[in-house]
Structure 1
């Protein structure tokens, strides 16, 4: 795939190098995803997450955990006669609905390629948050459909994975082709923060296997040193030593950094975007705030997030 002319005159391709700094062929792939988990809630969009997790787990010859979070939406009930009976009816209805979802899932999962395990929890959101955080701590990466992550319960579960477990998450757009497969072109949104470094670390198995990796920073006010250009070059060298052929780019200043990254992703034909998640309030803004909400609604490539 050809790369368009960089949007800035500061563009650099870093070749893999040996310890003496001499370029060499890419190192053998060493980073793998052996335990991949996918979150499902019974929503129609679940299948896009399953299909993507299927393709990724198959590519890495890994195992896939399918986690059914069956949320019981129990509202506050006034104390008094009959309240326990009403609560019991709500719980039973939710569990019956969960049984139907589980049955459909088992029928769907017979078509996946990698070995898998279906796990299910029924409960209030607090219980599900605790359970999914525990599972995320023992897997390499989580997958969930973007639209699932926009529901109230979905946002809580996403934040549990990112902030309680510290695990990476791939958000898969609803319109993604079921046979999208491994990303060939990856855009990494660079900021000199621990969150960005963690996202890059989580994405390393994909970066090593991609044909094109662009490490891009969106210009902010201040000098190159203040924008973190030198640390970006350090990260590029670090990735090169891991066998990743990476190009660094400084993008022009945008009113919203995400718009600049989205524009660059479209220009290079990115199959995946890698970015850091910067805090609970920032994540909520990422999903619900004006332009970013529109970008997610129209997004066509998976986004890998990590905190």
Structure 2
């Protein structure tokens, strides 16, 4: 993971995102590209004649907050001994991250929150970026332990294109794990069963353990989360499922459930 794209925004998930990016950069000798985006769409209105205007006082206050946030994070990065740079943009957050991720190895975002404070919560861009970025996404819970790349890793496998994309992208990280667990929640015959994924990983020098788990009463997402807890997984690799219609993201049930409740980082690719 040599190029790590970190979304910078002053919210309750920023501290966890930064710590995770630093852990990942140190473990992989990677470079952190900090991307700070002013979400102008939230501060632009329209008048009765079709014109557009910015709420100047609010926008000025936001610029001041962003300047302070940049100074704070740059001071931290300067003391961490990692390679980094800073990119500043105005515009749509999801679209800008998708554009900037074209040469990134991974994008660090925050897991969507379910609180009552939209100002403090992370901007909910994970679904959009995960489904449209050419790079995989790490979705990080607001409260997350330090990343242990040498700990166990779990891969959710169902033979889909999405799961295969995520698995291939994750290989450099999986090589650092103490154990790799391929977890398949199915009793059905698949064109690409977990044994095919295990053979692929074996060619990369990995010896994954295959687990076939029956889905529980609470659904596949809950079963995956429970299995990750049992394994003690440092992170979960999975496909991001869904489609878009006029930019409204409709995620598959498993992806949506895990994004809402996961207690460990999710490494996702569509």
For this structure pair, what is the TM-score category when the shorter chain's length is used for normalisation? 0.7 to 0.9
* 1-structure distance, mates of 2:52, 2:214: 59
C-alpha distance after superposition, 1:61-80 (max 9, x if no partner): 12111111222322533337
User: Which residue of 2 is the match for residue 193 of structure 1?
Assistant: 160
| Closer, same or farther: CA 148–47 of 1 in aligned 2, 3 Å | farther
Q: Greater strand percent: which structure? A: 2
- Among 185, 196, 220, the residue aligned to 1:257: 220
C-alpha distance after superposition, 1:18-69 (max 9, x if no partner): xxxxxxxxxxxxxxx1111111211132121111111111111121111112
Structure 1: any 5+ residue segments left out of the alignment? 1-32
* 2-structure distance, mates of 1:169, 1:208: 18
- Among 228, 243, 262, the residue aligned to 2:205: 243
Q: Secondary structure at the match of 1:155?
A: coil
Deviation at 1:197, TM superposition (A): 0.4
> What is the Cα-based RMSD across aligned positions, in Å?
2.7
List aligned pairs for 1:214-229, cutoff 5 A: 214-219=181-186, 224-225=188-189, 228=190
| Closer, same or farther: CA 193–61 of 1 in aligned 2, 3 Å | same
C-alpha distance after superposition, 1:143-181 (max 9, x if no partner): 12325799687323x24432332211112222223x433
Q: Secondary structure at the match of 1:130?
A: helix
Q: Between Structure 1 and Structure 2, how many residues are aligned?
A: 257
- Does 2:265 align with 1:302? yes
List aligned pairs for 1:1-307, cutoff 5 A: 33-72=1-40, 73-79=42-48, 84=53, 87-123=55-91, 125=92, 128-147=93-112, 154-156=123-125, 158-177=126-145, 179-219=146-186, 224-225=188-189, 228=190, 231-255=193-217, 256-279=219-242, 280-282=249-251, 286-287=255-256, 292=258, 295-296=261-262, 299=263, 301-307=264-270
Q: Secondary structure at the match of 1:281?
A: strand
CA contact (8 A) 2:12 2:122 kept: no
Deviation at 1:306, TM superposition (A): 0.7
CA contact (8 A) 2:163 2:269 kept: yes
User: Normalising by structure 2, what TM-score?
Assistant: 0.84
CA contact (8 A) 1:147 1:174 kept: no
* 2-structure distance, mates of 1:36, 1:141: 5
Deviation at 1:98, TM superposition (A): 1.9
Q: Secondary structure at the match of 2:154?
A: strand
| Closer, same or farther: CA 169–283 of 1 in aligned 2, 3 Å | farther
CA contact (8 A) 2:45 2:52 kept: no
* 2-structure distance, mates of 1:153, 1:175: 13
**Relative contact order higher in (CA < 8 Å, ≥ 6 apart):** 1
